[in-house]
């Protein structure tokens, strides 16, 4: 089985760790990723807040390309997923003129939900070389992946569980906490940095109160935000992993190098060494 892979811009830049871990992980799974040729902006930056037409039309090129490939799309970035899904839904209403033919036959999957399907979970379990025993973590979904539910299709948006299921399949302890989809403040960062820092620092604090040693995410913006606040607030304690990074760690075991986490601001090394998960 193949999927059309839409990496999005973040994965080529600050979320490069995420991109590399995804590619490594999918090599072990029974699913092939075929990157969409000449993919373009999903519109998550300025476009969607300025023009609804733009927000529908921009992602349409990528949707059309995937349809030509005859594949469903998988999107690792929560923002891209949201924009692609929105566009696909709105295109069916025929409001805007779109230069590409999109019928809607290619579905858009967010990566966490795709990998949390029962058969994928069993594949993940089969591939675990080194269970992440004793690693206490909480999963953080943020806003774009689960909301608004009428776009994203999440039914358990108050308490999403996809990354928890994956973490448990890897042998880690996924702790329940109340802040899975509570705002991390990234969206208000440019205008009110003080609010952004308060909100993201609170998430770190609450995660620690819950007993988590790390947070797993799927959204590059959440990752950057939660990672950065620890630098700015001067206490780098809780590594923020992309969930696929931990999959790679569990799949590759001691063969997985600390260099794979090179773009992290909060160094995961001490934690992983303490848990004897990395040399």
Using the minimum distance from each CB to another protein, give the nearer residue, 35 or 158: 158
Could you tell me the smallest distance in angstroms from the CB atom of residue 13 to another protein?
Answer: 32
Selected binder of another protein within 96, 100, 114, 157 (CB under 8 A): 157
Selected binder of another protein within 1, 38, 119, 155 (CB under 8 A): 155
Binding flag, residue 126, another protein (CB under 8 A): no
Contact 249, 277 (CB under 8 A): yes
Could you tell me the smallest distance in angstroms from the CB atom of residue 96 to another protein?
Answer: 24
Binding marks (x or -) toward another protein, 165..184, rule CB under 8 A?
Answer: -----------xxxx--x--
Give residue for tokens 């935000």. Answer: 225
Stretch that binds another protein, among 34-42, 148-156, 163-171, 258-266 (CB under 8 A): 148-156
Using the minimum distance from each CB to another protein, give the nearer residue, 96 or 157: 157
Q: Which two tokens stand for residue 53?
A: 């037409």
Q: How many helices (H) and strands (E) does the chain have?
A: 12, 8
Binding flag, residue 194, another protein (CB under 8 A): no
Could you tell me the smallest distance in angstroms from the CB atom of residue 209 to another protein?
Answer: 7
Burial 113-136 (b: 16+ CB within 10 A, else e): bbbbeeebbebbeebbebebeebb
Binding flag, residue 211, another protein (CB under 8 A): yes
Q: How far apart are CA 36 and CA 33, in angstroms?
A: 9
For CA atoms 40, 141, 232, 213, the dihedral sign is negative
**Residue 222 in 3-state DSSP?**
helix
Selected binder of another protein within 206, 208, 233, 275 (CB under 8 A): 206
Dihedral angle computed from the Cα positions of residues 13, 157, 43 and 101, in that order, rounded to the nearest 10 degrees: 120
Give residue for tokens 């590594």. Answer: 239
Q: Which two tokens stand for residue 196?
A: 């952004």
Q: Provide the 8-state DSSP code for 191.
A: T
Using the minimum distance from each CB to another protein, give the nearer residue, 4 or 203: 203
Interacting residues toward another protein by CB under 8 A:
148-149, 155-159, 176-179, 182, 206, 209-211
């Amino acid at each position: 089985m193949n999927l059309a892979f839409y990496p999005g811009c973040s994965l080529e830049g600050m979320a490069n760790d995420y991109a590399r871990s995804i590619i490594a992980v999918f090599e072990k799974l029974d699913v092939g990723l075929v990157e969409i040729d000449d993919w373009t902006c999903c519109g998550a930056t300025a476009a969607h807040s300025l023009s609804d037409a733009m927000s529908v039309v921009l992602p349409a090129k990528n949707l059309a390309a995937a349809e030509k490939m005859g594949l469903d799309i998988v999107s690792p970035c929560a923002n891209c997923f949201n924009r692609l899904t929105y566009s696909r839904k709105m295109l069916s209403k025929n409001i805007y003129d779109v230069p590409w033919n999109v019928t809607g036959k290619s579905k858009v999957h967010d990566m966490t939900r795709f990998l949390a399907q029962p058969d994928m979970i069993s594949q993940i379990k089969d591939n675990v070389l080194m269970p992440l025993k004793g690693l206490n973590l909480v999963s953080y979904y943020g806003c774009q992946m689960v909301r608004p539910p009428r776009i994203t299709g999440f039914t358990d948006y108050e308490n999403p569980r996809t990354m928890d299921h994956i973490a448990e399949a890897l042998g880690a302890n996924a702790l329940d906490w109340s802040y899975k989809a509570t705002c991390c403040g990234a969206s208000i960062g440019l205008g009110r940095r003080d609010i952004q820092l308060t909100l993201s620092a609170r998430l770190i604090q609450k995660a620690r109160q819950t007993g988590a040693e790390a947070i797993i995410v799927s959204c590059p913006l959440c990752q950057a935000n939660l990672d950065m606040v620890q630098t700015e607030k001067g206490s780098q304690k809780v590594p923020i992993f992309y969930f696929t990074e931990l999959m790679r760690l569990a799949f590759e075991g001691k063969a997985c190098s600390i260099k794979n986490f090179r773009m992290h601001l909060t160094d995961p090394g001490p934690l992983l060494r303490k848990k004897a998960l990395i040399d």
